[in-house]
Amino acid sequence: MSDICIKPQLLRHVLPRVLSVALLTSLAGCGLFNENKKLPPAPKIAAPETLYNNGIDALRTRRYALAASEFETLQQNYPYSGYIANAQLMEGYAYYLKGKYPEAVQQLNRFISLHPTSSDSAYAYYLRALCFYEQIADVQRDQQGTAESMDALEEVVTRFPQSKYARDAQLKIDLCRDHLAGKEMLVGRYYQREKNYEGAINRYQRVVQDFQTTNHVPEALERMVEVYLDLGLTDQARKSAIVLGYNYPGSKWYRYAYDNLHRYHLLTDKFPIPGKVVSASDMPKDAEPGTAGAKKGTAMEPDALATDTRNENTQPQAMPIKAAPVTPVKAEPTAPADSAGSPPK
């Protein structure tokens, strides 16, 4: 029998196929040997009451990031648990204490939309308003955040006028208004320095007319006296000074206005002596508060601003939430949702 001769050209085509078949066979063999091996089990998620209690413990020990994580895990894995509402509210509370106000607002909006009739709705609205309040910028910056804070706080007062949060919300509304008035005064003083008297008067008049309950009204009236005197409008200067004198006779701003009028020889017997309390019967008609937008005795005293609890060096504190949501809960027979997201049967 003659030896079989394999041509080199045939070898180049056949050899790669043979090697491929051998490789596939070896891989299949490995699969046969390992078919009985089990995959590692998925990590077990704690029970909903455990997650909730862990979040509460983290809150009490000021581990706010961990608390938010525990409450979020509960919501993701037990969407039909009876603890969802509390978890949503407490996650927002944790974000608030952490200083993550946008995240807190987002979480509280979720709670409000999903649980509009909850007994904790008043607190949710109040806490959301505080998130805006904590972000109020300095008067030298844009005050859009102050306006948003006022809107949110007014919603608390409107929706829950009898709640314990309404009174604190109203106080903060007054502080917001004082902040906005401070912004108007800042711009008005700038215009006055630049001798843009029309712009300055417009700003001061807005303070007097739109922010009557703030402590900026006396200064606004005195600045109006200054501007009118610079413009040579003595009658307007007199009227502004009279309103100032009969509404804020003890104010330093009235003393400044009184001295300015004295220097220009514009004083008459209509002007009260600085520091003397004037009765309503002694007030001339052109000095009535309503005629110039100022109200007697309604301006906030400067020391009233000390009630503002916002402090960059301290941890912001909301009014305490009621005891129920922060009380550890007992186990409930609730299983995690399946992969399709359907409720447990």
What pLDDT does residue 130 have? Answer: 93
Residue 53 has pLDDT above 60, yes or no: yes
Query: What mean pLDDT do residues 77-98 have?
Result: 92
- For residue 209, how many other CB atoms are within 10 A of its CB? 13
Q: For residue 201, give the H/E element and its range.
A: helix 197-210
Q: Please give the mean pLDDT across all residues of the chain.
A: 76
**Cα separation, 253 vs 261, whole angstroms:** 12
For residue 237, name the pLDDT band (cuts at 50, 70, 90): very high
Q: Is the pLDDT of residue 44 over 90?
A: no
For 121-170, write each residue's pLDDT tens digit.
999 999 999 999 998 877 667 677 788 899 999 999 999 999 989 999 99
Q: Phi and psi dihedrals of 296, rounded to 5?
A: -70, 130
pLDDT at 17 over 50: yes
Q: How confident is the model at residue 7 (pLDDT cuts 50, 70, 90)?
A: low
* Environment class of 21 (CB within 10 Å of its CB; exposed 0-12, middle 13-18, buried 19+): exposed
- Please answer whether residues 177 and 169 qualify as being in contact, where contact means their C-beta atoms are separated by less than 8 angstroms: no
User: pLDDT tens digits for 270-301?
Assistant: 888 887 665 555 555 544 443 333 332 222 22
* pLDDT for 303 beyond 60: no
The region of weakest confidence among 222-226, 264-268, 305-309, 320-324 is 305-309
For residue 202, pLDDT over 70 is answered with yes
3 state SS of 270: coil
Per-residue pLDDT at 112: 95
Greatest alpha-carbon pair distance for the chain in Å reads: 146
Q: Per-residue pLDDT averaged across 197-224, rounded?
A: 93
Would the pLDDT of 68 be above 90?
A: yes
Pair of tokens at residue 229: 């005197």
| Torsion of Cα atoms, 181 then 142 then 170 then 327, to 10° | -160
Work out the pLDDT band at 113, boundaries 50, 70, 90.
very high
Please tell me the predicted confidence (pLDDT) of residue 82.
Answer: 87
Neighbours of 267 (CB within 10 A): 15
CA 65 to chain CA centroid, Å, is 19
Mean pLDDT over 33-40 rounds to 55
Phi, psi of 27 (to 5 degrees): -65, -40
Comparing 186 with 293, the larger pLDDT belongs to 186
Q: Which of 123, 118, 119, 82 is nearest to 104 (CA)?
A: 123
pLDDT in tens, 310-336: 333 333 344 443 333 333 334 444 444
Structure-model confidence comparison of residues 255 and 338, the more confident one? 255
Q: Are 247 and 293 in contact (CB under 8 A)?
A: no
pLDDT above 50 (res 206): yes
